[in-house]
Chains A and B, each alone.
Chain A
Amino acid sequence: MFQADLTITGDIITIQMSGELDASSAPNFHKILQQAATRSPKQLILAMSNLVYIASAGVRGLVFARQKMGDDVEVVVEGANESVADTIRMTGMEHAITIRETFSA
């Protein structure tokens, strides 16, 4: 069961993700990203430490997130498992998405 909770702190939007992000849940993820984009944040944090599984549709969602946000918004992936972090690096997205191992304070 995928869940995504959006919180707004000033101009930072955090999406807390949990469960399994797969093909069936990806459309929900996309909707939340679109919702976030309308708020024009300066930073979008995708908090993934409770995400147990991410499928190809989910990784593709990160590209979607990057492109929805516009160039001047920093997209941060936090607490992603190694496989997701590796995929971001290997597909050349590491220039566009910041990867942090743990939650920021």
Chain B
Amino acid sequence: MTLDRIDAYPTHRIAGFPVRHGNPLLPGATFMHGGVNFTVCSENATSISLTLFKRGENAPYAEIPIPETFRTGHVWAITVYDLETLEDLEYGFRADGPGENCNPDRILSDPYAKLVAGREVWGEEPDWSQPYQHRSRLMFHDFDWGDDVSPRTPREELIIYETHVRGFTQHPSSGVTAPGTYAGLREKIPYLKSLGINAIELMPIFEFDEFENSKINQSTGERLYNFWGYSTISFYAPKAGYAASGKYGMAGDELKALVRECHSQGIEVILDVVFNHTAEGNHDGPTISFKGLDNDVWYMMTPEGYYYNFSGTGNTMNCNHPVVRGFVLDCLRYWVTEYHIDGFRFDLAAILSRDVDGTPLPNPPLLQELAYDPLLRGCVLIAEAWDAAGLYEVGSFPNYHRWSEWNGRYRDGVRQFVKGDTGKVGEMATRYVGSPDLYAERATAASINFITAHDGFTLYDLVAYNEKHNEANGEDNRDGGNDNASWNCGIEGETDDPEINDLRRRQIKNFLTLLLTSQGIPMILAGDERARTQWGNNNGYCHDSELSWVDWTPNKLTNELVRLTGNLTRFRAAHPAVRTPEHLTGREVIPGLPEISWHGVNAYAPDWSEGSRLMAVMRCAPLDDGVDCVYVVANAHWEPHNVELPMLPDGTLWRIAVDTGATDDSFPPGEEPILGDQHTLKVGGRSTVVLCTRIAQ
């Protein structure tokens, strides 16, 4: 005999619906036996009603005022029974209370909405007459995960590939059946696997509005969108417009299918999350959800009542307010448990270290909670350790020995060295071995090494443009960074000059080689391995066009770079010497052989002087049956140099894995040819050479 649950029966009838006091411990909308529990928190509201819509309809079919007796503290909770067609139910809240923000004429999205309707098909013009634009929906939790588990790759073995869900496969050349979607990205997993990466970092996929600040560029006629999506509408909902099945309310399933498939191929999924601000903007921005519930709780406000703007986008989320902290933690736990996400990269994370009045905190409660949370314990946590108001915490981000950081100093140092700036050998060397000056107390995995990211030049443009060319953004080239440490190799932009194109090709190879042989976690920007260009635009945030899509059309250059990238990732996997978890010291691996030694034109004689442009380093790591040795020489000088190689024990020979100046630029692990001259190596101008060997024991 089964006992009927006594808590599954309505106790009241409101607006024709059977209801009962809801469970205030379940935020948002939750399926219950026979009904749905709706919970919303508002300190300001004096009354709240639940508004129910049939899918897409302008007018609600029900308004259910939540009785005062269903309120606990500031939390209003009601369970509603006998709701039909839950697949097509849309809901929101009306909040009434003091102040202009609490306006019952508006319908507010649920901050915990698991799906959001209104933008299910990317770029489809919304019905602007619709009073409720971003409509909360229920999500079913019946996805079959099978035996899915996170790959849990050791951190120092990660190779991250940063990409944009739509931009990755929207180009007609992508050849996938569902371009621009989670499903399309899933079709490209074999490519990612062949490239040898083991983590994808998805630019924002929390629901956002591509039509936010959308406009027509008057000079080109092109419609500009919020393409990147760094402006969250709803933190729990996957961007429905990125799902081919979004119109069926199945964006969550489609994303889960992507994650499951990635995991089955050993690829982790990291989300780029934006908790520093929301799409509600400043006083001129729309009221979507948070503003109408508790403006002063969710946003940092000046004493005069204006929005602080540490994010550069209008408002700043009040991340260390206890209520907001709880929300952020709940949200990340949700993505880890519901979507099996493996890590997060926090946009403008320095904001997460600010107090409610904007003061930077030495021990920010939010960052500490995220660092120690048991459900997030397996996740990689990555901070973009600066914000738009000048707080720069690279190397000093409150980390609890847990957080990694986008290493902006790696990006700058490697760019300057490779383009040939003087006085950069020491800086390059420090960045190359995991930035121990910044992260001495932490593992090498604290440093996320990158040369390019979505923000800024692509790798090809880094070697093809001295200046940004952002005219297509419609802001008279004022937007985007001016300090790019880029060099066009002689001519600005596209050229037929074979020497310049050859130099660019070599410079790209130098960057890829240094990135993938550095200590720390390398991050590749999607498409850089295919020489993706944005024609000098270093701020492609608004372009849903070939400017920001990955072009899959193969040519000689893309074939070469894809092959090199694959060889480098596999080299990294095969050689523990370049990815030690701990920082390298001078200790000996075997007598007379230190784990790291610096060299120059002469062995053991590095040249750190102002005029030097050559860095050479040998790293050695113990193996079960010997010692793994890797020697790298990076010559940023335009002249070739003959370098003396460090001596190896008798019978051990250097093999050549990479030479960016050679026609055959690289070899797969195990197929590296033995170097002809074991004493002196000729390194071409602006070339990088990687040698490897195994000392048997």
Interface set of A (CB-CB < 8 Å, partner B): 23-24, 26-27, 55-57, 59-60, 63-64, 66-67, 86-87, 89-93, 95-96
Question: Mask for B225-264, Cβ within 8 A of A = 1, else 0?
Answer: 0000000000000000001110111100110111011000
Cross-chain contact B142 with A90 (CB below 8 angstroms): no
| B88 interfacial by beta-carbon distance below 8 Å | yes
Complex Cα distance A59/B250, Å?
Answer: 9
16 example contacts (A-B, Cβ-Cβ < 8 A) are as follows A27-B85, A55-B87, A56-B55, A56-B87, A56-B88, A56-B248, A59-B248, A63-B140, A66-B144, A86-B177, A90-B245, A90-B254, A90-B257, A91-B254, A92-B257, A93-B257
- Check: B447 CB closer than 8 A to any chain A CB: no
Knowing A86-B177, A91-B253, A92-B260, say if A55 contacts B88 (CB, 8 Å). yes
Known contacts A23-B85, A91-B250; is A60 also within 8 Å of B245 by CB?
no
Within 8 A of A (CB), among B241-290: 243-245, 247-250, 253-254, 256-258, 260-261
Q: Separation in Å of the B154 CB from the closest CB of chain A?
A: 28
Question: Closest residue to A91 on the B side, CB-wise?
Answer: B253
Which one of A24, A56, A95 contacts B249 once the chains associate, using CB atoms below 8 Å?
Answer: A56
Complex interface: chain B residues within 8 A of A95 (CB):
144, 146
Q: Which 8 A-B pairs have the closest CB atoms?
A: A92-B257, A90-B183, A23-B85, A57-B87, A91-B253, A23-B88, A56-B248, A56-B249
Is B181 part of the binding interface, using a Cβ–Cβ cutoff of 8 Å?
yes
- Selected contact of B144 from candidates A59, A60, A96, CB within 8 Å: A96
Q: Given A63-B140, A63-B142, verify A26-B85 contact (CB < 8 Å).
A: yes
Task: Report the separation of the CA atoms of residues A67 and B256 in the bound assembly, to the nearest whole angstrom.
Answer: 17
17 A-B pairs besides A27-B85, A91-B253 with CB distance below 8 A are: A23-B85, A27-B84, A55-B248, A57-B88, A60-B140, A63-B140, A64-B142, A67-B142, A86-B178, A87-B244, A87-B250, A90-B186, A90-B243, A90-B245, A90-B254, A91-B257, A92-B257
Residues of A within 8 A of B88 (CB): 23, 55-57
A87 neighbours in B (Cβ, 8 Å): 244-245, 248, 250
Within 8 A of A (CB), among B41-58: 54-55
| Complex CA–CA separation, A91 to B183 (angstroms) | 8
- Residues of B142-176 at the interface with A, using a CB-CB cut-off of 8 Å, are 142-144, 146
Enumerate chain B interface residues (CB-CB to A < 8 A): 54-55, 84-85, 87-88, 140, 142-144, 146, 177-178, 181-183, 186, 243-245, 247-250, 253-254, 256-258, 260-261
A77 to B51, CA, bound (A): 37
Kindly state the separation between the CA atoms of A67 and B141 in the bound complex, as whole angstroms.
12
Find out whether the CB atom of B183 lies under 8 angstroms from the CB atom of A89.
yes
Q: Which of B84, B243, B249 contacts A60 (CB 8 A)?
A: B249
Tell me the complex Cα distance, A73–B181, Å. Answer: 31
* C-alpha gap A9/B55 in the complex (Å): 38
- In the complex, the answer to whether A26 meets B144 with C-beta atoms within 8 Å is no
Q: How far is the CA of A92 from the CA of B262 in the complex (A)?
A: 12
Question: Which of these, A24, A64, A92, contacts B143 with CB under 8 Å?
Answer: A92
Of the candidates B84, B142, B247, the one whose C-beta lies within 8 Å of that of A56 is: B247
Residues of chain B within 8 A (CB-CB) of A89 are 183
A26 to B84, CA, bound (A): 10
Q: Which residues of B contact A23 (CB under 8 A)?
A: 54-55, 84-85, 87-88
User: Is A56 touching B178 in the complex (CB atoms < 8 A)?
Assistant: no
Q: Which residues from B are CB-within-8-Å of A96?
A: 144
Residues of B within 8 A of A63 (CB): 140, 142, 253
- Of all chain B residues, the one with the shortest Cβ separation from A96 is B144
Contact A90 B87 (CB under 8 A): no
Using Cβ atoms and an 8 Å threshold, which residues of chain B touch A26?
Answer: 85, 87
Contact B257 A86 (CB under 8 A): no
Bound-complex Cα distance A57 to B182 (A): 21
A79 to B652, CA, bound (A): 65
Across the interface, do B178 and A90 meet the contact criterion of CB distance under 8 Å? yes
> Using Cβ atoms and an 8 Å threshold, which residues of chain A touch B55?
23, 56
Q: Which residues of B contact A67 (CB under 8 A)?
A: 142, 144
The reply to whether B257 and A60 form a contact with Cβ atoms under 8 Å apart is no
Closest chain B CB from A17 CB (angstroms): 17
Which A-chain residue is minimally distant from B253 (CB atoms)? A91
What's the minimum C-beta distance from B4 to chain A, rounded to whole angstroms? 19
> What is the CA–CA distance of A67 and B401 in the complex, to the nearest angstrom?
43
CA distance A86 to B253 in the complex (A): 13
Question: Which B residues touch A92, using CB under 8 A?
Answer: 143-144, 253-254, 256-258, 260-261
B54 to chain A, nearest CB (A): 8
Chain A residue with Cβ nearest B140: A60
- Shortest beta-carbon distance from A75 to chain B in Å: 12
How far does the alpha carbon of A47 sit from the alpha carbon of B326 in the complex, in Å?
Answer: 48
Complex CA–CA separation, A45 to B253 (angstroms): 23
Give chain A nearest CB distance to B516 CB in angstroms: 32
A60 to B250, CA, bound (A): 8
**Given known A-B contacts A67-B142, A90-B257, A92-B253, A60 and B244 have beta carbons under 8 A apart:** no
User: B245 touching A59 by the CB < 8 A rule?
Assistant: yes
Contacts of A55 in B (CB 8 A): 87-88, 248
Residue of A nearest to B84 (CB): A27
CA distance A72 to B256 in the complex (A): 23
Bound CA span A27–B83, Å: 12
Closest partner residue, chain A, to B143 (CB atom): A92
Please report the C-alpha to C-alpha distance between residue A59 and residue B427 in the assembled complex, in whole angstroms: 57
Measured between alpha carbons, how far is A26 from B248 in the docked complex, in Å?
14
Complex: A60 Cα to B88 Cα, angstroms: 11
Q: How far apart are B523's CB and chain A's nearest CB, in angstroms?
A: 27
Q: In the complex, what residues of A have CB within 8 A of residue B243's CB?
A: 90
Could you tell me if B245 and A91 are in contact, using CB atoms closer than 8 angstroms? yes
**What is the minimal beta-carbon distance from B433 to any residue of chain A, in angstroms?**
42
Chain A residues within an 8 Å CB radius of B177: 86
Partner of B244, one of A24, A27, A64, A86: A86
Give complex CA distance A27, B260 in Å: 30
For B177, the closest partner residue in chain A by CB is A86
Most buried by A among B146, B245, B253: B245
Q: How far apart are the CA atoms of A23 and B261 in the complex, in Å?
A: 30
A26 vs chain B, min Cβ distance (A): 7
- Report the minimum CB–CB distance from A90 to chain B (whole Å): 4
Cα A86 to Cα B182 with chains together (Å): 13
